[in-house]
Amino acid sequence: MLPWIELATAVAPDGDALRLLRRGDEFSIRLQGGNELMNSRLGHSEEALARLALGGLAGRRGLRVLIGGLGMGFTLRAAQAVAPPDARLVVSEIVPELVGWAGQHMGAVFGACLSDPRVTVETRDVGAMIREAAGSFDAILLDVDNGPDGLTRPGNDALYQEAGLQAARRALAPGGVVAFWSAAASGAFSRRLSRCGFDVTTHSVRASSGKRGNRHTIWIAARPG
């Protein structure tokens, strides 16, 4: 078996050390301690995040989408595939080096998706962007951690608490949706979304496109209107 080769490292604003590794044509981004955050062969559920969220918004003109976390671009590319030509796709990535890795090391994974004129990448905290928005987005797609009950970065907790959910609701246009990716289900989080005024549906999606492997959870939370 081919060995993993370290290509680059970065430090997130909260101090976490990230490592980009490659083995053949497979890429992995991990925390310094070894916990894998993402893998280039396991993006099916991240793609489903975009398809499920945007599928109910077909026909909206000038679709405005905020994507929290660039990662390996799975959610972005899936959004590009279904978004109309006049859409605006804003990607918030808090670690600037990850944006550089997309072109420098992972060109085979990203292709030309970042050169799409519909796409803007901002190296900012997605939570701050949500709090600053007021009815600005038709969809917010959040894949910034392992989910409400599996956080690797304590600073992300605010996105999943009631104050963060209320901020996301205010950031949406009427009828808009916020979608959350999670490594595991959480009944408590489903109830919290409902308490915050969302109409909630939950989906269980495999990490890979095959019939085996782990299942992840996606919440689609719609703002009535």
Structural domain harbouring 114: 42-222
Q: What is the per-residue pLDDT for 82?
A: 95
Residue 65 lies in a domain: yes
Q: What is the per-residue pLDDT for 195?
A: 97
Residue 22 lies in a domain: no
Given a cut of 90, whether residue 34 has pLDDT beyond it is no
Q: What percent helix, strand, coil does the chain show, rounded to 5? A: 30, 30, 35
Residue 58: pLDDT band (50, 70, 90) is confident
How many angstroms separate the CA atoms of 71 and 181, rounded?
Answer: 13
Residue 12 lies in a domain: no
Pairing of strands 88-92, 64-68: parallel
Ranges assigned E (strand) in 16-171: 17-23, 26-31, 36-39, 64-68, 88-92, 119-122, 137-142
Residue 127 lies in a domain: yes
User: Residues 205-214: pLDDT tens digits?
Assistant: 998 777 777 8
- Residue 59, C-beta contacts closer than 8 angstroms, at least 6 positions apart: none
Residue 16 lies in a domain: no
Global pTM?
A: 0.93
Count of structural domains within the chain: 1
Residue 54 lies in a domain: yes
Task: List the CATH number of the domain containing 61.
Answer: 3.40.50.150
Residue 10 lies in a domain: no
Q: What is the per-residue pLDDT for 207?
A: 84
Mean pLDDT check: name the lowest of 126-130, 202-206, 207-211.
207-211
